[in-house]
Amino acid sequence: MNNHFTLTIHDDNGVKQFNLHKFVKKVILYTILFFLLVAFIATGTILYLNDAVDDIEAKRLATQSAYEELLRKNESIHQEMEETKNALEEKKSELTQVSDSLSEIEVLIGLTPAVNESSLQERVNSTKVSSEQMATLLQMIPSGSPIEYKGVTSSYGYRIHPTLNRKEYHRGIDLRAEMNTPVFATADGIIEYSGYHEKSGFGKLVIVRHNYGFTSYYGHLNRLVIKSGQFVKKGDLIAYSGNSGLSSGPHLHYELRFIGRVLNPLYFVKWSVNNYHEIFEKEKSIPWQSLLTATAHIKVPNPTQVPLSSPPELLSRAK
């Protein structure tokens, strides 16, 4: 058997022949096939890895984009939570202030302070009812100035009488007024007396009997426009100021009494919705709690808010 083969090579130098064993031929052939197989596998692997890398990169980019989007949403949610928290804090502060204000109003107008279980709405409703009661009291109990307020010429308490020249207890206040200044009723009531009262020294005098034991006196008048027995409402014209009786000059003597006891009228002249609670502290001789209880369910239709003669800016001067 012939185990050799001849390899002929032609080039510029001629023809060369090589005798090779067939085993070498097989080795060369198998080597070539091996390298071709390795090259094929390597090419396939490279192509697969490139696809895998591209897929991983795409997934990485998608994941990074999703992460950045989550960060943006998280920041937005955090900002919204901060805004909501701040808004809730503001509302909480406002509700606290409202609750404190209601508590103060409840105490000032004689309501029992609300228990913790009471809702804010219940307390608001209760305060609303009490506001109506406040208007009722200011309508029925003398409040505000009976004339346009221009100051006090003689205060409540001991003084030297301007005409008798001796120390006496002044049971009212003298309000500065020119002749024929309009005088108004400071609360609803009935005219108990209207005429010349020589014994008291008040000259022409009007006495108004109000609800719940209150009485108001208007002295040294010049002209009376109301008669005894007539009913009047707060703000009704009852007389004109003057200089009658024991008087050293034109003015209005204004006096208040509660079941016969004299009161300091200046507290009531300055009494209004704006300083509603002050009267309870300044005038303690009146059983206010009992009065508030008695008037709790009374409502005056169309109450007179402020007497025509005493606008708030003038009342604020009475210090």
- pLDDT tens digits, one per residue of 47-74: 888 888 888 888 888 888 888 888 888 8
According to the model, what pLDDT value does residue 163 have? 61
Average pLDDT of every residue of the chain = 81
Query: Hunting for tokens 């000259």 — which residue is that?
Result: 203
pLDDT band at 170 (very low <50, low <70, confident <90, very high): confident
Write out pLDDT tens, residues 267-318: 999 998 888 888 888 898 899 888 888 888 888 888 876 544 444 443 333 3
Q: CA 263 to CA 251: how far, in whole Å?
A: 19
How many degrees, rounded to 5, is the angle at CA 183 between CA 180 and CA 185? 165
pLDDT of 199 strictly over 70: yes
Cite the DSSP H helix spans in the chain. Answer: 22-108, 120-140, 265-269, 278-282, 288-294, 312-315
pLDDT of 126 strictly over 90: no
Q: At what angle do helices 22-108 and 120-140 cross, to 10 degrees?
A: 20
CA distances from 222 to 33, 47, 109, 194, 231 (A): 142, 121, 39, 12, 21
Which one is the CATH code of 139-315: 3.50.50.60, 3.30.390.30, 2.70.70.10, 2.30.40.10?
Answer: 2.70.70.10
According to the model, what pLDDT value does residue 17 have? 65
pLDDT of 124 strictly over 60: no
According to the model, what pLDDT value does residue 268 have? 95
Higher pLDDT among residues 189 and 62, named by residue: 189
Contact yes or no for 156/175 (Cβ under 8 A)? no
CA distances from 257 to 43, 89, 128, 230 (A): 117, 50, 30, 20
